[in-house]
Chains A and B, each alone.
Chain A
Amino acid sequence: MTTTTIAGHQVEVNDEGFLTSPQEWSEDLAPELARLIGLELTEEHWKLIRFLREDYASQGETATLRRVSTQTGTPVKSLFALFPGKPAKKMAYVSGLPKPKGCV
């Protein structure tokens, strides 16, 4: 476990750099987390991040890509365009959540 400073906040991260406590995340952290992985957040990104945060709060686990797509009505293609390469993990990272556990 490592303590690091992101956007002026002291947060705990795991070996990969994911926040270990979702409650340490706040909205002003997201743009900096996004910048670290080469993304600039748009309103479309924010819509997904807010969904992920709310869904984690109610379900207790990070939504899979499939769940994000069906629950927010966002086509999978758009998810790949907004968070290229590894959309599910990138979304979780920017939202300060653990990597999703589900297979699909």
Chain B
Amino acid sequence: MTATTDTAPVVPSFDDAEGSGRKLAIICSKGNLDMAYPGLILANAAVGEGVETHLFFTFWGFDVITRKTMGDLKFSFVGNTAMHPPGHSAMGIHHMLGALPGATAAATSMLKKQIAELDVPDVPEFLEILSASGVHMWACRMSADMNHVTEEDLFEGVEGIISASDFIEITEGAQLLFI
């Protein structure tokens, strides 16, 4: 390591992201507990980096922002061949055991416990935090119509029920993730 002396301090370029107009759009299409978190965590990271962030909830993703369901998302390991108990990556659990009565409830409560242990908020609190951080949240018009849901049924931070084309317009120039 070579030490050099520099009298003018190096200053981190914190405001580059805001200045560059970087935008991120995440389409959340899943309503399972384990598939809700990736979008929320990435949105939280992006907004904390000064990136203009938009979340679009569609199809099963609607459950993440519907008041009645957002606190009660579930995790099933049926079809998930990567399922194993926490800390035992070599000990596989046959995914079809997840179809047994009670398996979803047990797996959900285990996952919720693991998430809470990391001090990661539950879904409703996470939405509150994202909203307070300035993340834009949108609900899909077609999904709302299919589910007979109106804005009153949705988390209050959702800015509106909009069409797919409106979302495309709003997120012009954004990097996009489909989850």
Binding site for B on A (CB under 8 A): 1-6, 12-13, 15-18, 36-38, 65-67, 69-70, 75-77, 80, 85-90, 93, 103-104
Contacts and interface: CB of A to CB of B under 8 A. Distances in A.
A103 B3 CA distance: 32
The secondary structure that dominates the A interface is mixed
> For this complex, into which size category does the number of interface residues on chain B fall?
20 to 34
Given A85-B17, A104-B119, A1 B132 contact: no
Contacts of A104: 41, 44, 118-121
A87 B41 CA distance: 16
Interface string B111-149: 000000011110000000100111000000000000000
Interface residue SS majority, chain B? loop
Interface of B: 1-12, 14-15, 17-18, 41, 44-45, 48-50, 118-121, 129, 132-134
B4 A17 contact: no
B132 A6 contact: no
B10 A103 contact: no
